[in-house]
Amino acid sequence: MALEIYLDLFSQPCRSVYIFAKKNNISFDFMKVSLLEGEQYGEEFGKINMIRKAPAIRDGDFCLAESIAIMKYLAEKYQTSDHWYPADLQKRARVNEYLSWQHMGIRMHGSKMFWLRLLIPKIMGVEVPKDKMDGALEDLEGSLKLIEEKFIGDKPFIAGDQISLADLVAIVEIMQPVGSGLDVFEGRPKLSAWRDRVQAEIGKELFDEAHRGILASQEMVKNMDSSKMQVFKPKILRFFL
């Protein structure tokens, strides 16, 4: 049975897994999951993944969630090039350090921006209050600054001279607010230069393919049927407003 990877490319961690698998020529069945339609709450998906999140993989009998765990597992199984997840103890620790920080450090802020700018106005029918938007923007900017100064610094990539899982996970998160129409690279030459290097390593075609959906978000959200998305209302009220 082929490796199955459950993905929704609107989700940042799904993009990192997709790019990683494609870049490393790992053959898999692309199992599409539509998160905004709530497919992760269905019975079928529950059998794959008790955590009910995407991305998820099914490798024979082995099921796994969490993009970082998935990519490390695939790196080991398919013996991908060392630079993705270096065997060297200190280099690996640097990658792990970023992967740990980023959950709350950037992922939360980038995701929030996408919800505040696009999804919430669509689902709730109202614009988000200015103070909430300003607060979220401030958090995002703080994170981007830390990424530039502490994690990248004056190195070409987060872990050093070569691209690793850290850069891959970083870039997909940073692209999320971009999908909502916010150009986070403007006025950030260091971050832009890093992005260019990462894109070059991944390959422009693969990078663009993975991001096609998210970059068309503004149009897509406009055309969505907001009645199908009402299931997210309680989550929105709890987390964002």
Nearer to other proteins, 94 or 211 (CB): 94
Nearer to other proteins, 166 or 178 (CB): 166
Residue 107 C-beta: closest distance to other proteins, Å? 8
**Site residues (vs other proteins, CB under 8 A):** 50-51, 62, 64-70, 72-73, 76-77, 89-90, 92-94, 96-97, 99-101, 103-104, 107-108, 146, 149-150, 238
| Residue 71 contacts residue 165 (beta carbons within 8 Å) | yes
Cβ neighbours of residue 38 closer than 8 Å, sequence gap 6 or more: 228, 231
Give dist(CA 178, CA 184) in Å, integer: 6
Give dist(CA 224, CA 123) in Å, integer: 10
Q: How far is CA 74 from the centre of its chain?
A: 17
Nearer to other proteins, 96 or 162 (CB): 96
Residue 6 C-beta: closest distance to other proteins, Å? 14
Residue 141 C-beta: closest distance to other proteins, Å? 16
CA 36-39-40 angle, to 5 degrees, is 100
Residue 94 C-beta: closest distance to other proteins, Å? 8
Residue 123 C-beta: closest distance to other proteins, Å? 21
Residue 103 C-beta: closest distance to other proteins, Å? 4
Nearer to other proteins, 32 or 150 (CB): 150
Strands 4-7 and 29-32: parallel
Paired tokens of 193: 């230069």
**Residue 41 DSSP symbol:** G
Nearer to other proteins, 130 or 238 (CB): 238
Shortest CA distance to 32 belongs to which of 63, 4, 67, 70?
4
Paired tokens of 69: 């765990």
Cβ neighbours of residue 129 closer than 8 Å, sequence gap 6 or more: 241
Q: Is 78 helix (H, G, I), strand (E, B) or coil?
A: coil
Nearer to other proteins, 25 or 79 (CB): 79
